[in-house]
Structure 1
Amino acid sequence: MKKILFLTAFVPNEAAAAEKNTKIMLDDLGRFYLVDLVYFKYDIDESYIPTHKNVRVLRVCKNSVLVKFLNVLLFPFIHPMFSVRFNWSIFKWVKKRIKEDNYSAIICDHSQMFLYAKFLEKSIPKILLSHDIIAQRVGRTSNSFVKFLCAKSESYCLNVKNAHIFSFSQKDCNLISDLYHKDANLCLDYIDEKVVSAIPTCITNEFIFIGKWSRADNLDGVLWFFKTVVPHITETVEISIIGKEFPKERIENKNHKVKVNILGFVDNPYPRIANCKAVLSPLFTGAGIKVKVVEALACGVPVIGTDIAFEGISSDYKSFMIASNTPDVFLKTMKEVNISLADRVEMKKKFLNGYQSETIPNFLNNNL
């Protein structure tokens, strides 16, 4: 079997959307290739245990605030979003392994890994997996100089010889083409089999937040919701928050009509999501496709969210993507959302049938 070197910025796991996609992709690659994995890990993170016999962990790279700070200093003219995990000693070690092993391709997962591809052996094909357009993400919260630096850095990191760029929405593929004049291929996020098997059987009086709460994009939306929406809810509802390490001390609920459930990490939340009234996704920053919205639609569940929440997702599903950009509209939508069980089951079928694109293993099989 041919060998693939896979470099990723995070620990593959099921607790966060991007990391779960990496975990499923590794298993998919393992069906066709021997995969050597290098990933970055904080001390508090649990280690990744491969679930496919053809995937092995080659190295776990220590990550910390200090390590990231030192990495940024080593590459001072690149925006930190791209240099924060680039370390010259790790690079030299990876380069040595490439000389020792006959890799058919190198996959760099997340923009933070693209600098490695920039300087590694040019004869080996590279796959650059862009989870979102960093210039767009940074541009929504930064001044003009930082925007300029980020765009120049992203352009520099994407300009890799013998590389194929993939992104997870057609919108982001188009942005890469427009901003950097690079072709990008569409590679939709994997849908968890647990999502596929979750069938709506009833409609509860529960609204659900789900996300990785260490990301400010996700947390800020929930804080906004509890500050501006929850105090004005007049009907009895349940609000459930799913995901690791939600800082419950940062929200306050004095509305006796609202029951709040802080559920933490749930191994299989999708039967609960499939039956909830709606998933809530108020987002005001960030970029890229929102996997929580994809998974909700794949469960047959409507999503109430801001415009940013729906970026990159086809308007074919707009009846289930209910844009609500102000507290008043959010309140009104939560009160009025009423999509029948039959329509939910039909949306699930429609979404799953239409959710198809190239996969990385298929691309490699056809091009190596």
Structure 2
Amino acid sequence: MKLLFITPYLPSEKSGHAGAKLIYQNIISLSKLHKVSLATFIDSNEENMLNILANNGIDVHPVNYPRNQKSILGKLVSGFRNIVPALSYLIGKEPFFFAKYNKKRMRSLISQLLSNNNFDLIQVEYNVMHHYSDLFVNIPSVLVFHDISTKLYERGKNLGIKTDRRLYSIAKKIEVGIADKFDSIVTLTEEDKLYLINLGYKREICVIPPQINVVSNIDVSKKPNTICFIGSYNRQPNVRAVEVLINDIYNNIDFPVELNIAGKSLPKYLQKEIRNTEGINYLGFIDEIDEFIKTQMLMVAPIQLGAGLKMKIPHSLANGTPVITTPIGAEGIDIGSENGLWVCDGIEIIIKKINSLLIRQPILIERGKAGQNAVKKLFSEEVILSRFDQLFSQLIKK
């Protein structure tokens, strides 16, 4: 089968973005069975990653799109480039984050690929890439909702984030219409599926969670009394979780604990606060993230925002490190405390759970091993590939 993937982020195992890792795992697995082409936006520092995909037989077609520019010139160019998306948001057409991915060069690339190939199916990753659906109305198409934006903004609105009020109103008007452009919809969790149905989506939705690989060939020891959090801090849910860890949780732990925070782009005000707090470390982006997670006794993820499946949770379990998180953090993850995942609804409950678990570290190690087996059953390559193959077969038959 000839597949075309259309993505806003370059699929990469080394990306600091969970969505890019998810797409990478799926696209590599599917390329073993199908002929895969990829149209993707790439950042200015990602060209060296293209060969990894090409070496796996994937036909890669990138469109340059620099993000998060730091220089004055870069910011000026970015501001000019985003005038039209900003206007789209101001007139209430769609959120800026959606509009900025509507690019002529990507449209031209996809048109060219469609002219030169007979694709059997097109898979679009993220709702923000919906703009190109009119190019392939006669080819079966799948849209993967990595999260439901209306749900994300609703939660932000309910937490008092003022900008999310308007974003919620706009997203609620357009998100079902975006879904209706495609022949099939995939969500990562049952919770997101139900939310989209409640928004008014009428057709069938397929739930396919991310692939999570259990790494068993890294031999490291656990460091006593360590807790961690990982994430990309270009995303507000992760920033807010770090704020809660630093300001509300860490100082209320009953005994000395080392808190290690990993991931790129943590805001400078939080980095300064960490430098001034004994026992908390900001490690930045870590290449060997699996090895780091394996050394930690416990991940604490006080996630209060977001939608979709939080990959850091099963990722931590896959590395034998148990997790304490919130109901939002645990969405889509059918794993219980017997397998190393404790779900705590409230900061005080999280603190009590940390205090009770870190004094029983042999139990944490035992539950971490059980968590690895639970992740294998739910998120293995075999399980996820079978769901995609079933979906693709149904669409082709139609």
TM-score of the superposed pair, with normalisation by structure 1: 0.87
> What secondary structure does 1:103 align onto?
coil
> What is the CA deviation profile of residues 94-126 of structure 1, one whole-angstrom value per residue up to 9, with x for unaligned ones?
223312221111111111112212x12211111
Residue aligning to 1:35: 36
Residue type of the alignment partner of 2:39: V
Are 1:349 and 2:373 matched, yes or no? yes
**Alignment: residue pair count:** 363
Q: Is the 8 A contact 1:166 1:185 kept in 2?
A: yes
Cα offset, 1:89, TM superposition? 4.9
> What secondary structure does 1:120 align onto?
helix
1:190-339 pair list within 5 angstroms: 190-194=211-215, 197=217, 202=222, 204-247=224-267, 249-251=269-271, 252-253=273-274, 258-314=278-334, 316=336, 320-337=340-357, 338=360, 339=363
Of stretches 297-306 and 71-80 in structure 1, the one that deviates more from structure 2 is 71-80
Q: Is the 8 A contact 2:320 2:371 kept in 1?
A: yes
> What is the CA deviation profile of residues 34-85 of structure 1, one whole-angstrom value per residue up to 9, with x for unaligned ones?
3222212343555532334421222324245433442454685233343220
Distance 2:347 2:394 in 1: 49
Of stretches 208-217 and 332-341 in structure 1, the one that deviates more from structure 2 is 332-341
Residue type of the alignment partner of 1:183: E
Are 1:83 and 2:99 matched, yes or no? yes
Are 1:97 and 2:100 matched, yes or no? no
Residue aligning to 2:185: 165
Q: Is the 8 A contact 2:213 2:376 kept in 1?
A: no
Are 1:185 and 2:186 matched, yes or no? no
Distance 1:17 1:314 in 2: 19
Residue type of the alignment partner of 2:24: K
Of residues 135, 139, 146, the one that matches 1:120 is 135
Q: Is the 8 A contact 1:9 1:113 kept in 2?
A: yes
> What secondary structure does 1:141 align onto?
helix
> What secondary structure does 1:127 align onto?
strand
Distance 1:259 1:164 in 2: 48
Of residues 50, 55, 63, the one that matches 1:60 is 63
> What secondary structure does 2:279 align onto?
strand
Residue type of the alignment partner of 1:85: Y
Relative to its length, the structure with more helix (as a share) is 2
Distance 1:183 1:69, change over 3 A: farther
Distance 1:318 1:168, change over 3 A: farther
Residue aligning to 2:169: 148
Report the identity percentage: 21
Distance 1:359 1:244, change over 3 A: farther
> What secondary structure does 1:309 align onto?
coil
Q: Is the 8 A contact 2:145 2:185 kept in 1?
A: yes
Distance 1:93 1:268 in 2: 34
Give the unaligned 5+ runs of structure 2: 68-77, 158-163
Distance 1:44 1:279 in 2: 30
Residue type of the alignment partner of 1:40: F
Q: Is the 8 A contact 2:344 2:350 kept in 1?
A: yes
Of stretches 326-335 and 65-74 in structure 1, the one that deviates more from structure 2 is 65-74
Aligned residues: CA RMSD: 2.9
Q: Is the 8 A contact 1:231 1:255 kept in 2?
A: no
> What is the CA deviation profile of residues 220-250 of structure 1, one whole-angstrom value per residue up to 9, with x for unaligned ones?
2112221222333341211111212334652
Distance 2:202 2:180 in 1: 10
> What secondary structure does 2:328 align onto?
helix
Distance 2:275 2:5 in 1: 48
Give the unaligned 5+ runs of structure 1: none
Distance 1:198 1:174, change over 3 A: farther
